[in-house]
């Protein structure tokens, strides 16, 4: 009887987990919204500017996050190949540089789009707000765990 209860609870848990995942808002979407709100407190944009800039902001942030995930996968692949003793440093270096170039191209395109929408002084303040957000995020980040294990 006890085993049947455990099995029923297990299957109940399995059936509820996908529903919970669908109802949860992804963590990165929350981060983009938080960053956007913080930036708006530091940069005075008109309602029209907000409506035009926010989609560009979200698009840029999502693209940067995608590159960041690729960078993480590259590092994980490196760690796997390091454990196997077969490291292709040429390929690793090329991947690293190509990701950096792609991120720089994203920033350039982001800048060109924003430049069309915002006055130079407003754009400067916008970039300052982005830098301040990143700086605060890094400053408030908890220290890394001790890796001596």
Higher pLDDT, 7 or 115: 115
User: Quick one: pLDDT band at residue 148, thresholds 50, 70, 90?
Assistant: low
Tokens of 88: 């292709």
Helices 89-117 and 47-84: angle between axes, nearest 10 degrees: 180
Backbone angles phi, psi at 110, to 5 degrees: -60, -45
User: Quick one: pLDDT band at residue 28, thresholds 50, 70, 90?
Assistant: confident
Handedness of CA 26, 30, 33, 35 (dihedral sign): negative
Alpha carbon distances (Å) from 50 to 54, 88, 117, 124, 126: 6, 46, 10, 16, 12
């Amino acid at each position: 009887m006890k085993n049947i209860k455990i099995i029923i609870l297990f299957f109940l848990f399995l059936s509820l987990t996908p529903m919970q995942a669908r109802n949860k808002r992804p963590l990165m979407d929350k981060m983009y919204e938080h960053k956007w709100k913080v930036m708006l407190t530091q940069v005075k944009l008109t309602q029209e500017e907000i409506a035009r800039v926010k989609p560009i902001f979200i698009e840029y942030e999502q693209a940067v996050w995608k590159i960041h995930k690729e960078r993480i996968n590259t590092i994980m692949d490196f760690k796997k190949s390091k454990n196997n003793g077969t490291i292709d440093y040429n390929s690793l270096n090329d991947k690293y540089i190509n990701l950096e170039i792609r991120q720089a191209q994203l920033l350039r395109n982001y800048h060109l789009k924003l430049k069309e929408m915002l006055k130079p002084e407003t754009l400067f303040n916008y970039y300052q707000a982005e830098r301040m957000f990143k700086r605060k995020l890094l400053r408030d980040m908890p220290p890394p765990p001790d890796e001596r294990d």
